Amino acid sequence: EDQVTQSPEALRLQEGESSSLNCSYTVSGLRGLFWYRQDPGKGPEFLFTLYSAGEEKEKERLKATLTKKESFLHITAPKPEDSATYLCAVQPAGAGSYQLTFGKGTKLSVIP
């Protein structure tokens, strides 16, 4: 069974204080690992897809990395507007593997 564990559950940072969010996964063959941002009362917003170990992607203050067992979302010099819940999900490889398995998310609060 595919599993995704995100840590920490919640993270409070001062504005400008860089940190990382962790996503550990177990999947029988990985087609893709996804990162989403979710604001309260809204649907998840797509950030990144990573496909293979060693891959990195960046967008503004966010950088996602992938190994064979986990992914990290690095946040450099965060701002209050980066406050949100960040979700990680995996899609298994194989025919008919349409669904994503999500972690419970990390709720990030950036304090001015």
Binding residues (CB under 8 A) for other proteins: these are: 4, 32, 34, 36, 41-46, 49, 87, 89, 98-100, 102-105
To other proteins, the closest distance from the beta carbon of 17 in angstroms equals 26
To other proteins, the closest distance from the beta carbon of 111 in angstroms equals 23
To other proteins, the closest distance from the beta carbon of 74 in angstroms equals 20
Pick 19 or 49: Cβ nearer other proteins: 49
Pick 15 or 56: Cβ nearer other proteins: 56
Measured CA distances, 22 to 18, 45, 94, 98 (Å): 14, 18, 25, 24
Q: Which residue's structure tokens are 């450099």?
A: 76
Q: Which two tokens stand for residue 58?
A: 């960046």
Give the pairing of strands 45-50 and 56-59.
Answer: unpaired
Pick 13 or 100: Cβ nearer other proteins: 100
CA-atom Rg of the chain in angstroms: 14
Pick 8 or 16: Cβ nearer other proteins: 8
C-alpha 13/C-alpha 35 separation (Å) is 20
